[in-house]
C-alpha cells in the first residue's frame, strides 16, 4: 500500500519490473491520472505489457482485468471503499498481486478508514511504503511489513 497519492511516482518502477521480469500488469485508471489516456491511448509510458482500463470504477475494473486479461499485477489508485476491498480479496484469491495507493500521512491515519483498517487487519499487503513530498515527490519516509513492523525509515527520494 502506498500512502499520500503518489501513484505516478510508481510508473517507472512498474515499467522496470514488467520489462525485466516479463510481468503483465493491469491498471485500473479510474480518473485517467496514471496512464492519462486520450482516445484510448496512454499518453504516459506505462510499458508494453500493461493493459489499462481508463475511466473505469476500480472494483469493476479489477474484476474485469482478472476475468479477461490475466495480469500478474493489478495497480489501482486511492482505494478505500468496501467494493474495493471485496474486489481486492477476489484478486488475491486468484493469485494476482496488488499495487495500491491510499491517502494519509501515516499508516495510523489511513487506518482511520474502517475499510482500510480491515485490510490491514486482514494482512492484505506485504509492504506498506509511506511516501511524502518532504524532499520532493516520492520521498520514502518508512517501509513497514505486513504486521506493521518497521523495515526502513527515511530512505530519501
Q: How many domains does the chain have?
A: 1
Q: What is the CATH number of the domain that holds 58?
A: 3.40.50.300
**Residue-number span of the structural domain to which 102 is assigned:** 2-125
pLDDT at residue 62 is higher than 90: yes
**What local confidence, expressed as pLDDT, does residue 19 receive?**
65
In eight-state DSSP terms, residue 149 is -
What's the predicted TM-score (pTM) here?
Answer: 0.82
Instruction: Tell me what the mean pLDDT of segment 85-104 comes to.
Output: 89
110-143 per-position pLDDT tens digit: 888 888 888 888 877 888 888 777 887 777 788 8
Go through the chain and tell me how many residues it has.
Answer: 157
Distance CA 47, CA 10 (A): 12
- 146 assigned to some structural domain: no
Amino acid at each position: 500500500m502506498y500512502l499520500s497519492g503518489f501513484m505516478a511516482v510508481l510508473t517507472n518502477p512498474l515499467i522496470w519490473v514488467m520489462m525485466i521480469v516479463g510481468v503483465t500488469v493491469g491498471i485500473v485508471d479510474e480518473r485517467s491520472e496514471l496512464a492519462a489516456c486520450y482516445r484510448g491511448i496512454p499518453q504516459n509510458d506505462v510499458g508494453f505489457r500493461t493493459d489499462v482500463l481508463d475511466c473505469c470504477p476500480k472494483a469493476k475494473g479489477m474484476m474485469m482485468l482478472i476475468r479477461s486479461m490475466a495480469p500478474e499485477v493489478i495497480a489501482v489508485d486511492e482505494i478505500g471503499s468496501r467494493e474495493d476491498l471485496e474486489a481486492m480479496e477476489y484478486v488475491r484469491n486468484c493469485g494476482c498481486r496488488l499495487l495500491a495507493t491510499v491517502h494519509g500521512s501515516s499508516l495510523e491515519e489511513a487506518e482511520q478508514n474502517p475499510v482500510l483498517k480491515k485490510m490491514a487487519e486482514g494482512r492484505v499487503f506485504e509492504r506498506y511504503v509511506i511516501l511524502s513530498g518532504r524532499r520532493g515527490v516520492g520521498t520514502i519516509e518508512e517501509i513497514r511489513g505486513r504486521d506493521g513492523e518497521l523495515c526502513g525509515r527515511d530512505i530519501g527520494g
